[in-house]
Structure 1
């Protein structure tokens, strides 16, 4: 007697067909979904427009305060400068009223003879004040003596001028020789020496020729 098996036998071809149908169904479902089949376009990131920085507003400087100029004549140079600054005038300079082209190295040794801005005149405080001065032991001249100049290419009359001022009147490239008129001293501080003679006569044409001076100290006679 043959024994019969009660279990069902699954055919190999049937299993293969079932798997294939499942795959087809999956593909069909995916193909019906437009969102799944169509590529997603690249969406540019939203960018905010660049804000332009406001141009800096042009600001005008406030005008300087205006004040009346004090009377500085007769004051010591240092005291005059201090008083000017106390009033708000900080742009200050000075010059030698005697025309010797000396520097006011120690302000306390000088006194004010003149000022470029008249006392009582109302001016902006950033205006430059220029003081004319002489040494304390000297007498102020009636007016500031102007430094000599070689006008029109002609030799000026430099007799009596300080050697420093005489040198400044000529072209910086001029060859200048200075000798002591009375002794054999060296002329070192030229602002303390005055010209006694000059090798070129006043009015002579200056063509680059050397110039010779003789000189003595200001308190001496030529």
Structure 2
């Protein structure tokens, strides 16, 4: 073994615990550092991040359908943003869709609309007759008390400033008024047309299937 090879061998023995080497190599080099493996998961494409693009679709005719069936049909056509409201103006919630039927739709049938368009169905309960047009919610105008007789207590409350103090009593019996959308206003104080200055409001009411005394 020549001197050059012996020197290389001694150097290898000193570094044997860290790296392997060949004593015959005169210019030993440390191993190249490990490089990070590329990610196996590709980056999301713009279409994946933003969801399926909106497409124009012809809006079907939903009038006369049960609300649940109308919603299912709308979703099958790609419309996923759906709403419904009480066409009678009573402000009732459609808690069980199968108990309601469609009287109107905000986008007329046959209209081309983006699938991101919100479809709003006007509804009444199955045993009720659809109104000719959706009843509009009452509202206070020019700071005066609106005529709320015949309106549901829920709609009457919605017509007034949220800060208004309101008292409701049963006009026929001594019952608690629990679900205001099921009760109609019989009398009101202040009277219709009175200037509203933050004064308390009082209503008497009966259930909709009852007559005001």
Fold-level similarity (TM above 0.5): yes
Partner of residue 88 from structure 1, selected from 70, 78, 97 = 78
Higher radius of gyration, 1 or 2: 1
CA distance in 2, matches of 1:202, 1:193: 19
Show structure 1 runs of 4+ deviating over 2 A: 59-63
Partner of 1:184: 174
Considering fraction of residues, name the structure with more helix. 1
| C-alpha distance in 2 between matches for 1:152 and 1:94 | 30
Secondary structure, aligned partner of 2:157: helix
Partner residue, 1:127: 117
Structure 1 unpaired stretches of 5+: 1-58
How many Å separate the matches in 2 of 1:69 and 1:143? 20
Q: How does 1:8-19 map to 2 (within 5 A)?
A: none
- Corresponding residue for residue 155 of structure 2: 165
Superposed, 1:53-72 pairs within 5 Å as 63-72=53-62
TM-score, L = length of structure 1: 0.72
Mapped partners of 1:126, 1:70: distance in 2: 15
CA shift for structure 1 position 152: 1.6
1:64 Cα deviation from its structure 2 partner: 1.1
Partners of 1:72 and 1:174 lie apart in 2 by 39
Deviation, structure 1 residue 72: 0.2
Consecutive unaligned residues in structure 2, runs of 5 or more: 1-45
Q: Using the TM superposition, give the Cα deviation of residue 198 of structure 1 relative to its aligned residue in structure 2, in angstroms.
A: 0.1
* 1:139 and 2:161 correspond: no
In the alignment of these two chains, the number of paired residues is: 164
In structure 1, what is the equivalent of residue 101 of structure 2? 111
Q: Secondary structure at the match of 1:152?
A: coil
User: TM-score by structure 2 length?
Assistant: 0.75
Inter-partner Cα distance in structure 1 for 2:148 and 2:78: 40
